[in-house]
Structure 1
Amino acid sequence: MNWLVNTVGAACVLLVLRDVFHTLWHPTGHGGLSRLVMTGLWRLSAATAPRRRAAGLVGPIAMVVVVVMWALIVVVGWALIYWPHMPEAFAYAPGLIPAEHASFTDALYISLVNISTLGLGDIAPAEGWLRIVAPLEAVVGFALLTATVSWTLGIYPALARRRALALRLSHLARTHPAAEQIDTDSGAAILDSLAAGISVLSVDFMQYAESYYFHDGDDRTSLACHLGYVCDLADRAAGARHADVRLSAAVLNAALEDLAAILDQRFLRTHGTPRQIFRAFADDHGRRSGT
């Protein structure tokens, strides 16, 4: 029976490590737990009112929930490793009666002490292999802390890039550039820069898929509002007389198609055209895309 409890505990720890790996360090992967939490809270927010206020909290709350789940599962997993070997495999401080401190609650206490690197020492592993396993929990705890910081430092710059591009598109839409202004060298340069920005967003959605579940604030910083406008701009430029503008428009259209494919494969599942996918993206974020 002891080996079964130990196996369940080790499986819990490995589950979290796998989830951290796929969430943070696997460029095109989703973590299982993090994805379930993010999508679950996002769908829950769709049923609340007002939608925008609820959606704005999904991303930050989901990150906190995921990190707490990682920590709790690791703590419980290690406690399941310790528990079957208590009290005989542990040394107790004077004044503690081993038989009275061998419950699962005591195993959780030891696990919490180890993962937080407190090192109180009132209950310490005495058996050889446990003296190796216990410090490993402290290493995993430090790794979780590092992973949390890395995750935060990765997602928020990705969100800043997305919102900055959306704001730039808002500025461009508000200037209403005429066809003759687009059909110039400067127009080609603008289209090239937009294609580069869209390509960066495609990478961000692959690398930091959880960033999809963050709300973008007002309409000027909402990418979902402006993708329709970009499609229109690319279509207008495709008929330009200037060869460089037509080439830039083709590159921008290719970047938009790639972004639409990523959004559809990972989040929306519409199997539609890029414009249909972008409308679904806008609807999912409680927005109306530009046309």
Structure 2
Amino acid sequence: MARPDGDRSERMILIAWAGIVLVITAIVLAVRTRRTIWGRATGPAVADATRPNGTILMITGAHQWTIPLLADWQARGVIDIQKQGPELAKGERSGRSSGPEWIFTVLDAATVDEIELPVLQALVPDAPASGATFILTREDTATREALTASIIDARGRQRAAFGVRPVASRYLAAGLVALAVLGSALALAGTIAANFPRTSSGTNGVAWAVVAATVGIATVALICRGARRVTDAEREYWQRARNLELWVRTTTNPSMALAGWAMYWGHLPGPWIEKMPESITQLRGRDGAFLRGDVNKKNNYP
């Protein structure tokens, strides 16, 4: 791209390039900060059978909320789960079949904390009273919807329980945006002062600088605004979960107290299958299908 002669023009071009470098730096730092300081980045996994410091609902995905939690409750002696009735023939297209009816009986809810208790009550309305029973039928969509809503709420309350990032985190976001704004201002000023000529496509260099500056500021602002500030407590949760996953996949002496967490990682190693009671293994492969009242037949578990 041609540029006017003269020392002043060259200085302005250098200023413009310095501004561009600042914008790029702001974007790189924002992305890096989002993944580390704000994000839930963890260190290398170390096999450890320690439960994460929070509900299992945090780790489970949208289609795996219920089964690991139910398995965890069974393993902890919170509830007893029985099924009654046939599992009907699966559909040719969907690969799913209507599951049986489920009978939930509360045994001892003493270990259920304030995060999970509303979820238990959505499933068994008379909980936490010992002996409280509820039968979930295939047609009971209201209970399934209430259960889903309570799980979403529980995840939000668990995040709140992890705490809030210090005020310094917000200052960091403001600093990154300010860096992007400064860089964009320098790029614009330098470009205008240098009076770049039109490119071969007929687009003025100033216009390109305006677009670049706007995109830079918007990118950094969106990164900083969209980042959810992860606290040290939540990051510890994800580190423990990663350590526990490695332990689940490598241990030769599984602990049934952690069976619910093990269920989350799907195809369990042999020792888990051999030791896990049928009351828990009967839940395998149902994942999100449980909330719809059917059983997913596409998972071919051993």
Q: Larger RCO: Structure 1 or Structure 2 (Cα < 8 Å, ≥ 6 residues apart)?
A: 2
What TM-score does the superposition give when structure 1 sets the normalisation length?
0.31
- Structure with greater helix share of residues: 1
Task: Indicate the structure (1 or 2) with the bigger Cα radius of gyration.
Answer: 2
